[in-house]
Structure 1
Amino acid sequence: MRWKLPVGLAVVSVALLVVLWKGFGRDPHEVPFMMQGKPAPAFTLKALNTGETVSLAALKGQPVVLNFWASWCGPCEGEHPVLEWGARKLGQDARFLGVIFEDTDDNARAFLRRHGESFTQLVDPRSQMAVDYGVAGVPETYFIDADGIIRGKHVGPIDPDTLEAAVRALREPAAAPAR
């Protein structure tokens, strides 16, 4: 009877280690993205500094680069100049939108004063939009084509070459679904 408890604990420990290894050992870039090729979740949010209402429906016909970020996120701070560059250089090819994730308006404004604001920043007060898009952390960037279909997602800070290639790809016709 004494040996059952240690053996049971050993079995549970090994099972827990396997679950942790399988779940946490994955690179988020390698996890399949189930929303690709599907309609982007609808949203209607207010712009941080203007109060303008922005909705995905109103952007139909225009590709969208949607970046979730926060002022407390170190990688977001490093990524922001790339997005500023992208909005200036590629803004004629896609509408750039930032979505403030789990942050205060005041902290977001202070961040933008320090780092620039050449594209619209949206307030997601209860993080519902982040939930709808399946955001696991920040930064995350979604690429939505002119028909409102999610064509891609980038997890982590994006570099200029990746951003430019993703925006250019939004202008190309979507591949036909495999049969």
Structure 2
Amino acid sequence: MKVKWPILIVGLGGTAALIALLATGFSANINTAVTDVITGKQAPAFELVDLQGRTWSVEELEGKPVFINFWSTWCGPCKMEHPMLLQAAKAYPDVQFLGIIYNDAAAAVDVQLRRPPYNRLMSELESAAIEYPNLSDPDGRTALRYGVVGVPESFFVDRTGLVTYKQVGPLNADTAKRELARIRKQ
């Protein structure tokens, strides 16, 4: 069998270029790259329903500091940050904490239809002791307005409705304390 060197060289060169491109993209600081899209701007409007059937909107939250966490039931890092978020919600009762279930088609359908897997979602929240409201973003439009690229992502909104900080990826306790203190002061 005769080796077709030009095809092999082009194939290997293309593979090397793709690997270099991916490595460069993965090494970029995504938190810095996407933070400026929304930070310093008014929190985008939304009207979403929580798991108990109550409708929430940005307008009704005016005048309160707000913490918003986009998460999914299948997301391991989301589940890992839940205990810290619960502690923060208890430590800062003047801040409105909201979870928004995103990119979770099964959970969204179950919530809308109130069918048995919805009970599984509720039991998961209860077992994680998540007591603050969790809203469903079934079509992902709210996440799109907030510039969410994946989960978890968290947003800190001050009393005037400005997004003061966006965290891409899991939130750590030190950052949470710093940013919660900042939105409570303003």
TM range (shorter): 0.7 to 0.9
Conservation of the 8 A alpha-carbon contact between 1:67 and 1:99: yes
Equivalent residues, number: 170
Gaps of 5+ in 2: 112-117
Using the alignment, how far apart are the partners of 2:68 and 2:85 within structure 1? 10
Shift of 1:32: 4.4
Using the alignment, how far apart are the partners of 1:21 and 1:161 within structure 2? 29
Letter in 2 for 1:135: V
Quote the residue 1:134 is aligned against: 147
Using the alignment, how far apart are the partners of 1:134 and 1:121 within structure 2? 19
TM-score with structure 2 length normalisation?
0.81
Match of 1:108 among 116, 121, 139: 121
Deviation readout 1:116-165 (Å, 9 max, x if unpaired): 13211111111211122121221111111112111111122223222111
Paired-residue identity, % = 36
Using the alignment, how far apart are the partners of 2:175 and 2:7 within structure 1? 53
Q: Does 1:153 align with 2:156?
A: no
Match of 1:66 among 54, 65, 68: 68
Quote the residue 1:16 is aligned against: 18
Conservation of the 8 A alpha-carbon contact between 2:152 and 2:169: yes
Gaps of 5+ in 1: 174-179
Q: Does 1:25 align with 2:27?
A: yes
* C-alpha RMSD of the superposition: 2.0
Letter in 1 for 2:152: P
Conservation of the 8 A alpha-carbon contact between 1:90 and 1:164: no
* Secondary structure of 2:42's aligned partner: coil
* Secondary structure of 1:45's aligned partner: strand
Conservation of the 8 A alpha-carbon contact between 1:100 and 1:108: no
Letter in 1 for 2:33: V
Letter in 2 for 1:101: Y
Quote the residue 1:77 is aligned against: 79
Shift of 1:41: 1.3
Letter in 2 for 1:37: G
Shift of 1:61: 1.3
TM-score with structure 1 length normalisation?
0.84
Using the alignment, how far apart are the partners of 1:121 and 1:112 within structure 2? 9
- The more displaced of 55-64 and 31-40 is 31-40
* Secondary structure of 1:162's aligned partner: helix
